[in-house]
DNA sequence: CTGAAAGCGCTTACAG
DNA sequence: CTGAAAGCGCTTACAG
């Protein structure tokens, strides 16, 4: 009690009160006061203008090293951090990073979020969520409205949002930095984080072919997803290495969902000459094949080998455990955030990291005895 | 081309240029200009002060109906929307709603996010993500720093973050509105969205008891989660209705994860007098029991009945499909957001909706023949 | 019921 | 290398 009282009295007697009135509120930055420390307090304490403090804050090169050190020290002493709202207003852009996504897999979405958050940690940027329904007529306008009004620092787009050229054109016209995660080079290297889906699918093909399978089917995702094309193409290429060709009659489109996987498998497995192996474009559909096979009394992997794509948690928990192709989603999110931060800081970006999938062999595949 | 040119010329000849200089930038709100419409433009066009426009914006009651209508009409004509950054600076609070969460289930997290986003749609509020690691020493300081600096409009906390009293005390001391989703009344009704976990667990108990099971085990979640206690207590109560008592020796704590479920089930099922039914505190652990049973050659539901909690997508996809207790996570998120918005608007809140779980009977349970 | 002034806490544009 | 002035687009506090 007394300590605090004395401190206040001392404060009121200090000569700095006789200095010319600054436009900051009267407050005592040295006491453990409730009022927030502002740029004006730092400027006063360092005997410089607020503009100089601002220069230090923004790492502007033209500040004397001595001045810079002094300002930095006082900022540290006072626990000063600039107000993001004030900077946003002056900068005409906010400290929001938007994730615009439409991937239906919760595991994918959560991992992507985590990867981005890993990278944003400690920065002033906040991750805001913008789920997108690409089948809705006005989805593009909604995002545009958000960008116009909130002026985000940047936008990250995983597939299939990343494949929307009109959306990216809109972001460009708003001068909004963005990074696209996709299975093809859709943009300049600085704006791309590439995944090599085709390569992963080729690994799946080699695995099945080397086990002796010949009548191999493929259930791929919707044509509206680039990844569906890439995985199909890669799978074909992988088979070709073994002098095998993917039969069109054994190639079916489905919706990347469990139910669509069940239906596609029902179709394939009820044929007189059913395939001995199926490569599914993602794990959800692969699990659907399990369900269909069970219904028809087929044993996995004895009667049917299955390979998925994604390596969701379910893949390792289901029986028999699913052989699948894994993409490091979290790392991809991290790289996208890193790339975006560089773009925002107008740093030179030549190329970002690209990601190779890896096949995880488990129990759902076996050699055709 | 000519149209645009003429419009510009006309603009420069218009008498309004001779009106006294306003502090807004010179711009043409009537042309399809690139420059943004501001409060000053609306004020000028409506022949009122910007303060009056501000009053209309904030639904301040003391504005003449006529004036209000005129201002609103002009705002609509100009497609005006106030700048969130500017409002944030003046209001001393941002338009961010933070989700502070630590639930390990991706499905839970994504559903919760969706429910909140449903409700925030159309508003100016943005959902920002704040995953929390309650086992980290500084998790509370990190959130406090965020609240101090970004002054979010509010915070939503699902379990187990919602059970952290110190965190809520911090939010209160920062005058930051918040809503807690929890299985007990931890706060005043306005700050609570209640789930009746105990009731759901009682339904599981009644279901198993009515199937004739007597040697019933329970694998519950970590003691650090309120829900683990609630579900245990509710399960005991449900059994009591059938004159059954939960055997302490058949009650095991695990970690709400697949692996911990496997270990707990290994323990229970390898005993000489093994249980005929197990109620798991969540689906993850229930799926773990499947794995353990398979290892030991036990058939579900013939040799062992299993009930889970959550109704994750996996529950209906695994074979045999899991009987489980469902909580409407997405709706809960929506209600939490609605409650928070009311708190932010300082509306009178007496009580929020509470949520009852519902048992979904599938194939993993059967009567003890 | 309405408005002019000052302010929120920063940055930009211009001087020196 | 440094600073005084003006501004970002709103709201609060005070008058009338």
Helix, strand, or coil (residue B277): strand
- Residue A117, pLDDT > 90, answer yes
The CATH homologous superfamily for domain B197-326 is Response regulator (3.40.50.2300)
Nearest CA distance, A87 vs chain B (angstrom)? 9
Burial label, A234 (beta-carbon count in 10 A; 0-12, 13-18, 19+): buried
Q: How far is the CA of A328 from the C1' of D15 (A)?
A: 64
Q: Could you check: is the Cβ of residue A43 within 7 Å of any atom of nucleic acid strand C? A: no
**Would you tell me the crossing angle of helices B39-46 and B65-78 to the nearest 10 degrees?**
130
Query: What values do phi and psi take at B126, rounded to 5?
Result: -115, 140
Between positions 270 and 309 of A, the ones with CB within 8 A of B are 287-288, 290-291, 294
| CB proximity A33 to B under 8 Å | no
Architecture per CATH, B2-79:
Orthogonal Bundle (1.10)
Cα B101 from chain centroid? 9
pLDDT tier, A29 (very low <50, low <70, confident <90, very high otherwise): very low
Name the CA dihedral angle for B228, B230, B232, B238, rounded to a multiple of 10 degrees: -150
User: In CATH, what number does A2-80 get?
Assistant: 1.10.260.40
Most confident of A42-51, A274-283, B41-50, B57-66: A274-283
A34-43, A87-96, A153-162, B231-240: least confidently modelled range: A34-43
Whole-number pLDDT of residue A186: 95
pLDDT category at A229 given cuts 50, 70, 90 is very high
CATH 3.40.50.2300 residue window(s) in chain B:
90-195+329-355, 197-326
Q: Do B319 and A290 touch (CB under 8 A)?
A: yes
Q: How far apart are the first and last CA of chain B?
A: 85
Please indicate whether, in this complex, the C-beta atoms of A129 and B124 are within 8 angstroms of each other: no
Q: Residue A99: which H helix or E strand, with range?
A: strand A96-101
Percent share of chain B, pLDDT over 90: 71
Percent of chain A predicted with pLDDT > 70: 91
Give the architecture (CATH level 2) of B90-195+329-355: 3-Layer(aba) Sandwich (3.40)
Report d(CA A93, CA A151) in Å as an integer. 5
**Residue A190 and residue A343 in contact, taking contact as beta carbons nearer than 8 Å:** yes
pLDDT higher at A4 or A264: A264
Query: Domain A197-327 is classified in which CATH homologous superfamily?
Result: Response regulator (3.40.50.2300)
Q: How far apart are CA A50 and CA A56, in angstroms?
A: 10
Say whether residue A136 is in contact with chain B using an 8 A CB cutoff. Answer: no
Q: Specify the pLDDT at position B348.
A: 80
Q: Determine contact, residues B156/B178, Cβ cutoff 8 Å.
A: yes
The residue among A99, A126, A322, A329 with the most chain B CBs within 10 A of its CB, best to mutate, is: A126
- For residue B81, the chain A residues in CB contact (below 8 A) are 149
pLDDT over threshold 70, residue A146: yes
Which pLDDT belongs to residue A35?
66
Tens digits of residue pLDDT in B88-137:
999 999 999 999 999 888 889 999 999 999 999 989 999 999 999 988 88
Q: Are residues A320 and A300 in contact, defined by beta-carbon separation less than 8 angstroms?
A: yes
Return residue ranges of chain B for CATH 1.10.260.40: 2-79
Are B267 and B252 in contact by the 8 Å Cβ rule? The answer is yes
Closest Cα of chain A to B154: distance in Å?
A: 14
Name which of B200, B242, B143 is nearest B327 in CA terms.
Answer: B200
Walk along chain B (369 residues) and give the pLDDT tens digit of each residue.
Answer: 333 332 332 333 333 333 333 333 333 333 334 568 899 888 888 888 888 988 998 888 888 888 888 889 899 988 899 999 999 999 999 999 999 999 888 889 999 999 999 999 989 999 999 999 988 888 899 999 999 999 999 999 999 899 999 999 999 999 999 999 999 999 999 999 999 999 999 999 999 999 999 999 999 999 989 999 999 999 999 999 999 999 999 999 999 999 999 999 999 999 999 999 999 999 999 999 999 999 999 999 999 999 999 999 899 999 999 999 999 999 999 999 999 999 998 888 779 999 999 999 999 999 987
On whether the CB atoms of residues A214 and A244 are closer than 8 A, the answer is yes
Distance from CA of A109 to the nearest CA of B (A): 8
pLDDT for residue B35: 65
Which residue has better confidence, A21 or A55? A55
Is A128 in Cβ contact with B313 (below 8 Å)? no
Residue intervals in chain A for CATH 3.40.50.2300: 90-196+329-355, 197-327
Query: CATH topology for A90-196+329-355?
Result: Rossmann fold (3.40.50)
The CA distances from residue B85 to A78, A206, B124, B208, in Å, are 25, 54, 11, 56
DSSP sequence for A240-251? HTTT----GGGE
Q: Which of A225, A231, A224, A189 is nearest to A324 (CA)?
A: A231
CB-CB contact of A221 with A228 (8 Å) = yes
B206-240 residue pLDDT tens:
999 999 999 999 999 999 899 999 999 999 999 99
The span from the CA of A186 to the CA of B37, in Å, is: 35
B127/A131 CB distance under 8 A: no
- DSSP string across A185-210: --S-GGGEEEB-HHHHHHHHHHHHHH
């Amino acid at each position: 009690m007394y300590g605090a009282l004395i401190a206040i009295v001392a404060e009121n007697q200090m000569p700095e009160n006789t200095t010319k009135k600054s436009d900051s509120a009267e407050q005592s930055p040295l006491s453990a006061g409730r009022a927030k420390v502002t740029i004006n307090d730092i400027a006063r304490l360092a005997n410089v203008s607020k503009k100089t403090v601002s220069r230090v804050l923004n790492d502007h090169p033209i500040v004397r090293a001595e001045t810079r050190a002094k300002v930095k020290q006082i900022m540290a002493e006072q626990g000063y951090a600039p107000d993001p709202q004030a900077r946003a207003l002056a900068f005409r852009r906010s400290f929001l990073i938007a994730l615009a996504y439409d991937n239906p897999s919760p595991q994918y979405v959560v991992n992507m979020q985590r990867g981005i958050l890993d990278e944003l940690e400690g920065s002033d940027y906040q991750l805001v969520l913008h789920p997108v329904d690409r089948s809705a007529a006005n989805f593009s306008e909604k995002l545009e409205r958000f960008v116009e009004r909130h002026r985000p620092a940047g936008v990250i787009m995983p597939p299939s949002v990343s494949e929307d050229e009109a959306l990216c054109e809109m972001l460009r016209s708003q001068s909004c930095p963005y990074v696209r995660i996709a299975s093809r080079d859709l943009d300049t290297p600085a704006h791309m984080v590439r995944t090599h889906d085709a390569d992963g699918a080729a690994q799946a093909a080699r695995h099945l072919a080397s086990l002796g399978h010949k009548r191999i089917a493929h259930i791929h995702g919707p044509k509206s997803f680039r990844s569906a094309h890439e995985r199909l193409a890669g799978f074909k290429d992988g088979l070709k290495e073994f002098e095998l060709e993917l039969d069109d009659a054994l190639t079916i489109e489905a919706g990347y969902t469990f139910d669509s996987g069940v239906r596609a498998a029902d179709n394939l497995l009820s044929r007189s000459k059913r395939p001995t192996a199926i490569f599914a474009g993602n794990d959800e559909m692969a699990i659907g094949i399990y369900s269909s096979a069970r219904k028809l009394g087929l044993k996995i992997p004895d009667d049917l080998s299955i390979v998925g794509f994604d390596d969701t948690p379910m893949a390792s928990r289901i029986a028999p455990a699913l052989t699948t192709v894994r993409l490091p989603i979290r790392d991809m999110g991290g790289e996208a955030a890193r790339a975006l931060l560089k773009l925002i800081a107008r740093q030179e970006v030549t190329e970002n990291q690209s990601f190779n999938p890896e096949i995880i062999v488990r129990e759902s595949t076996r050699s055709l005895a």
